[in-house]
């Protein structure tokens, strides 16, 4: 028989620092001015935060358990603290919950307060044993006068206020948001962080300050209910029932409820429940911190909550040998170039495990994940650095890649943004990857203009490069709409729009700025400003950036933030108007919040040979891909090392330098090097991405292929920084003296 716990009054004793008759005990005041107190009611002692800018927040029954016996027998049990005692460190609170025959859950919460942060360290011990499992939670409730639509929510790489662009059934998507239920497993987040932003500028953020994340291979989304003492991951989020207040906080282990169903299939509510066994000796302990803010816009909350998480978790820089990494990546890149009938290119996709060619290996793509011109640019750079036969071979390969691409796509409107290396013709039949996307052509053509300037500084002229780019840019300006936006995509060889959304109008801005500088014609800069104003006024002001990944149309993603940062920095360079620098900072703050700043352990019982991301390799530095695929990670953002370095120089904000350092070093952890070949077929290989999250999928990617962007982005993080600021490149590349005796990751 199940029965609720009965909590009695306060324990008496000479060592207590309060009288039994007391109805309120003050822990102290937060930096916001709010008082944190423990108040007594008929159910025991609860906690209350009131008097600051935030609505009153409280929890009358802080000891909360969910107890599972069977799918039809799941009980929610909560109680106030039986005793609360003030100590030198804060407040020690205890509760006991009886269950069944001879089982008692002993809850011990130790609360403390520092500046704007209220923290609790919880331990639950079990006396006795019973079938089933349990989890516990630390949840706070918001004043009932505040309803769900009154709050903006943020979870890094999952939700930034507006769920419209997050995928309908993703954890931060519209279906979950509309259901007033947001559950985020911490192992699928860059930081175990969740924040609420109120309309008056107040905010509360929840953080697991000491995440562990342990799971098992058996733990799988296919298994709705599992009980295992080895589960050491929690979940964060918020919910509101029809007749109750908003409730938010952290629960452990990390059960979730959301929407299942693949593309085109009906969305169905599904709960994934995780528990610890009801048994003596089970290790059930965790920490939760709550940061209270005020006078913050939603963009401020994203920045301030994220930096709080960064400073708390202190992501470790795993230093690499930068020069070794550069050489390995370049030699590998050169080795992948293919020449057919005089045409040279880097194939679109290659297998990291075998020499078997994929059906689409001969696709040649510009920008995004194909980056053939950017690959050529890296080879040209090395040709300037290395006068030997090696470097000159790279130079010739780079020149051949560019010439082949111009020859294959000579006319504007473009017939596509890539071609078939085997035929020299635009890829047929039409394929989304190689259609005339706004991003693909503008991204690689900007790189070509950068290469043109460098070549010109060495006395080398390439008028055919300039003419090809200018022809495209002149056509592009004509496609700009009255509101300043550009379509995402056109039909091949046509002015007809195939995808009208203007969400990615940040893409052509840097190229337009360069063309204005090259020609002296202000119309290009004017076009860039109109496009940048459009995306800022529609989305940037709200702190959301959309549509960077072309295969995820109009989805919130990190690449949108990265590319917006580039757009705004280019306009700041061109105008020196401080508003563009402020906007670049907002985009940068958003983009960096996709970086994993904690180490998610691979399942200890996994076969390392079957894992794509190997045991013991730090996960700090990987980044979420899009909000629609929470937990999927890659290393795309390491391209932005020079941008964060530039923001540091412009703002003197040391945090941006810390971000640049993590992106320079930690993002290369899965590149195969001498001495750490992993299981790929040779040195220099790295597959495109992996997944974090449940045990059976953690550390495994959707495929084991390499795409050109992998090496191009790794390299530009190095070469772009060196070109931008050689002194800063040397500083960031060098291991600090304090860690000089520690081996580099690839030593």
Q: What is the per-residue pLDDT across 329-382, written as a single tens digit (0 to 9) for each?
A: 999 999 999 999 999 999 999 999 999 999 999 999 999 999 999 999 999 999
51 Rama class: left (phi>0) / alpha (psi -120 to 50) / beta:
left
Q: What does the pLDDT average to over 445-474?
A: 98
Q: Say if residues 204 and 248 touch (Cβ distance below 8 Å).
A: yes
Can you give the residue ranges of every domain in the chain?
Answer: 63-82+128-313, 322-739
What CATH architecture does domain 322-739 belong to? Alpha/alpha barrel (1.50)
Per-residue pLDDT band at 739 (split at 50, 70, 90): low
Secondary element (H or E) of residue 59: strand 57-59
**Among the listed residues 592, 668, 714, the one whose alpha carbon sits nearest the alpha carbon of residue 191:** 592
Can you give the pLDDT at residue 747? Answer: 38
Q: How far apart are CA 252 and CA 205, in angstroms?
A: 17
For residues 135 and 253, is the Cβ–Cβ distance under 8 A? yes
Per-residue pLDDT tens digits for 579-620 = 999 999 999 999 999 999 999 999 999 999 999 999 999 999
Tell me the Ramachandran region of residue 201: left when phi exceeds 0, alpha when psi lies from -120 to 50, beta otherwise: left
Which segments within 164-243 are labelled E, that is strand? 181-185, 193-198, 203-207, 225-227, 235-240
- Looking at residue 263, its pLDDT comes to 66
Q: How confident is the model at residue 277 (pLDDT cuts 50, 70, 90)?
A: very high
Nearest in space to 334 (alpha carbons), one of 405, 395, 394: 394
Give the model's confidence band at 242: pLDDT under 50 very low, under 70 low, under 90 confident, else very high: confident
92 class by beta-carbon count within 10 Å (0-12 exposed, 13-18 middle, 19+ buried): middle
> CA angle, 312 as apex, 307 and 318 as ends, to 5°?
90
pLDDT in tens, 493-536: 999 999 999 999 999 999 999 999 999 999 999 999 999 999 99
CA separation for the pair 98, 101 (Å, rounded): 9
Cα–Cα distance measured from residue 692 to residue 356, given in angstroms and rounded to the nearest whole number: 28
By residue count, the chain amounts to: 747
Q: What is the pLDDT of residues 189-226, one digit of tens each?
A: 999 999 999 999 999 999 999 999 999 999 998 899 99
- Quick one: tokens of 49? 């935060």
**What is the pLDDT at residue 243?**
84
Give pLDDT tens digits for 655-689.
Answer: 999 999 999 999 999 999 999 999 999 999 999 99
pLDDT at 117 over 80: yes
The predicted pLDDT at position 610 comes to 96
pLDDT at 414 > cutoff 90 = yes
Q: For position 18, what pLDDT does the model report? A: 39
Element (H, E) at 107: strand 103-114
Sign of the C-alpha dihedral computed for residues 198, 204, 205 and 206 taken in this order? negative
d(CA 464, CA 458): 17
For residue 431, the model assigns a pLDDT of 66
Q: Look up residue 245 and give its two tokens.
A: 């207040």
User: What is the spatial distance between Cα 705 and Cα 683, in angstroms, rounded to a whole number?
Assistant: 15
CA distances, 508 to each of 180, 266, 571, 591 (Å): 38, 37, 12, 19
Bond prior to 664 in cis (omega within 30° of 0):
no
Report, as an integer, the average pLDDT of 4-17. Answer: 33
Q: Which residue has the higher pLDDT, 232 or 17?
A: 232
pLDDT tops 70 at residue 7: no
pLDDT of residue 743: 52
Could you tell me if 36 and 118 are in contact, meaning their C-beta atoms sit under 8 angstroms apart?
yes
pLDDT at 19: 35
| Tens digit of each residue's pLDDT (9 = 90 or more) over 12-66 | 333 343 333 479 999 999 999 999 999 999 989 999 999 989 999 999 999 999 9
pTM of the model: 0.95
640 class by beta-carbon count within 10 Å (0-12 exposed, 13-18 middle, 19+ buried):
buried
Average pLDDT for the chain: 94
How much of the chain exceeds pLDDT 90, in percent?
A: 90
Q: What confidence tier does 427 reach under pLDDT thresholds 50, 70, 90? A: confident
CB under 8 Å to 688, separation ≥6 — which residues? 369, 634, 701, 703, 705, 706, 707, 710
State how far Cα 625 lies from the chain centre. 7
Q: What pLDDT sits at residue 432? A: 77
């Amino acid at each position: 028989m199940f029965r609720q716990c009965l909590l009695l009054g306060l324990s008496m004793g000479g060592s207590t620092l309060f009288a039994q008759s007391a109805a309120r005990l003050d822990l102290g005041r937060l930096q916001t001015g709010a008082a944190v107190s423990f108040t007594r009611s008929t159910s025991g002692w609860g906690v209350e935060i009131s008097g600051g800018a935030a609505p009153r927040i409280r929890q009358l029954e802080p000891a909360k358990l969910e107890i599972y016996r069977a799918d039809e027998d799941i009980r929610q049990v909560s109680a106030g603290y039986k005793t609360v005692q003030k100590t030198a460190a804060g407040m020690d609170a205890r509760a006991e919950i009886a269950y069944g025959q001879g089982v008692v859950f002993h809850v011990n919460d130790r609360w403390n307060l520092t500046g704007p942060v209220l923290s609790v360290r919880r331990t639950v011990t079990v006396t006795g044993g019973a079938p089933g499992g349990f989890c516990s939670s630390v949840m706070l409730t918001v004043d009932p006068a505040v309803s769900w639509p009154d709050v903006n929510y943020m979870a890094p790489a999952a939700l930034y206020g507006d769920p419209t662009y997050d995928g309908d059934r993703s954890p931060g998507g519209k279906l979950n948001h509309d259901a007033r239920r947001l559950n985020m497993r911490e192992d699928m987040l860059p930081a175990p962080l969740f924040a609420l932003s109120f309309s008056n500028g107040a905010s509360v953020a929840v953080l697991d300050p000491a995440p562990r994340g342990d799971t098992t291979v058996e733990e799988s989304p296919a298994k709705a209910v599992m009980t295992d003492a080895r589960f050491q991951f929690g979940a964060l989020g918020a919910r509101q029932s029809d007749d109750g207040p908003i409730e938010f906080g952290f629960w452990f282990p990390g059960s979730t409820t959301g929407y299942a169903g693949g593309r085109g299939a009906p969305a169905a509510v599904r709960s994934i429940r995780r528990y610890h066994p009801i048994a003596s000796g089970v290790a059930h302990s965790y920490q939760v911190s709550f940061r209270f803010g005020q006078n913050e816009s939603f963009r401020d909350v994203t920045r301030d909550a994220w930096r709080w998480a960064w400073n708390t978790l202190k992501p470790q820089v795993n230093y690499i040998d930068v020069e070794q990494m550069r050489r390995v990546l370049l030699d590998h890149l050169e080795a992948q170039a293919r020449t057919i009938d005089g045409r040279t290119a880097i194939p679109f996709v290659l297998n990291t495990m075998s020499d078997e060619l994929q059906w689409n290996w001969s696709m040649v793509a510009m920008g995004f994940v194909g980056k053939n011109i950017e690959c050529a640019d890296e080879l040209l750079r090395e040709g300037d650095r290395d006068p030997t036969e090696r470097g000159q071979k790279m130079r010739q390969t780079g020149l051949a890649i560019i010439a082949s691409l111009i020859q294959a796509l000579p006319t504007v409107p473009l017939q596509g943004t890539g071609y078939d290396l085997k035929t020299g013709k635009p890829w047929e039949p039409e394929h989304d990857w190689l259609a005339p996307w706004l991003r693909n052509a503008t991204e690689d053509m900007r790189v070509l203009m950068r290469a043109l300037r460098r070549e010109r500084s060495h006395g080398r002229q390439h008028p055919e490069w300039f003419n090809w780019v200018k022809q495209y840019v002149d056509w592009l300006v004509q496609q700009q709409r009255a509101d300043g936006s550009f379509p995402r995509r056109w039909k091949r060889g046509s002015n007809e729009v195939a995808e009208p959304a203007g969400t990615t109008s940040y893409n052509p801005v840097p190229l337009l700025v360069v063309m204005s500088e090259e020609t002296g014609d202000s119309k290009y800069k004017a076009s860039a400003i109109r496009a940048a104003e459009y995306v800022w006024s529609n989305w940037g002001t709200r702190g959301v950036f959309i549509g960077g990944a072309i295969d995820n149309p109009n989805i919130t993603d990190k690449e949108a933030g990265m590319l917006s940062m580039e757009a705004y920095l280019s306009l700041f360079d061109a105008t020196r108007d401080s508003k563009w620098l402020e906007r670049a900072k907002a985009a940068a703050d958003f983009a960096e919040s996709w970086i994993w700043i904690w180490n998610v352990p691979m399942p200890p019982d996994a076969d390392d040979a079957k894992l794509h991301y190997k045991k013991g390799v730090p996960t700090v530095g990987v980044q979420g891909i899009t909000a629609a695929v929470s937990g999927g990670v890659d290393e795309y953002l390491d391209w932005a090392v020079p941008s964060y370095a530039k923001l540091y120089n412009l703002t003197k904000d040391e945090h941006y330098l810390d971000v640049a350092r993590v992106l320079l070093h930690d993002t290369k952890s899965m590149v195969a090097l001498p001495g750490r070949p992993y299981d790929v077929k040779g040195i220099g290989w790295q597959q495109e991405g992996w997944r974090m999250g449940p045990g059976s999928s953690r550390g495994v990617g959707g495929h084991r292929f390499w795409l050109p962007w992998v090496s191009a982005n790794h390299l530009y993080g190095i070469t772009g920084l060196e070109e931008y600021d050689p002194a800063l490149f040397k500083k960031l590349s060098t291991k600090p003296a304090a860690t000089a005796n520690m081996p580099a990751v690839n030593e």
